[in-house]
Amino acid sequence: MPTNLYGPGDNFHPEHSHVIPALLRRFHEATQAKAPEVVIWGSGTPKREFLHVDDMAAACLHVLRLERATYQANTQPMCSHINVGTGVDVTIRELAETIARVTGYQGQLRFDPSKPDGPPRKLLDVARLHALGWRAHYALEAGLRQTYAWFGEHLQEIRA
């Protein structure tokens, strides 16, 4: 069971994308236009966990390669799902500030509390996955930089 995923190949549609690709695109466009501010929905206080897609793939391979006895010792029949995440969450404000750094945006961030925040926190318990010997490789900022580089390389395709 994965947490919120992001990475190369994501959906960067301005109206139909998840928070990370939407903010990467919005901050990129604001940087290009030298916009004085970027508006972010909500208060900025909800916390979310994000996982790079390459880490998701690596976690899947790790679990698939486990000895059967190891897998069975760490799961139960009919209750065998394994949460896949980093075990670390950030506020939407921290995410927006990080994306501003990644994109080189120099303007102001304005949070719009009239827009919905969603649940206050979404964080998976990844203790089972850690006990099985796997941890995420990508730190959030490094993953965002790699994703933003991919976005820049594929901008013409994305806009098409």
Domain count, the chain: 1
Determine the average pLDDT of the residues in 17-36.
Answer: 97
* pLDDT at res. 79: 84
Domain-located, residue 58: yes
Please state, in angstroms and rounded to a whole number, the distance separating the CA atoms of residues 85 and 2: 6
Domain-located, residue 158: no
Residue-wise pLDDT tens digits, 94-148: 999 999 999 999 999 999 999 999 999 999 999 999 999 999 999 999 999 999 9
pTM, entire model: 0.94
* pLDDT at res. 80: 81
Domain-located, residue 160: no
15 pLDDT above the threshold of 90: no
- Cβ within 8 Å of residue 95, ≥6 positions away: 19, 20, 23, 48, 50, 140
Among residues 87, 107, 90, which one has the least CA distance to residue 141? 90
Domain-located, residue 116: yes
Crossing angle of helices 19-33 and 92-103, rounded to 10°: 40
pLDDT band at 83 (very low <50, low <70, confident <90, very high): very high
Domain-located, residue 52: yes
Domain-located, residue 159: no
* pLDDT at res. 160: 58
Domain-located, residue 31: yes
Residue-wise pLDDT tens digits, 47-62: 999 999 999 999 999 9
Q: 143 versus 160: which is more confidently predicted?
A: 143
Determine the average pLDDT of the residues in 65-79.
Answer: 92
Q: Which domain holds residue 82?
A: 4-152
86 pLDDT above the threshold of 80: yes
Domain-located, residue 157: no
CATH number of the structural domain spanning residue 46: 3.90.25.10
When the pLDDT of each residue in the chain is averaged and rounded to a whole number, the result is 96
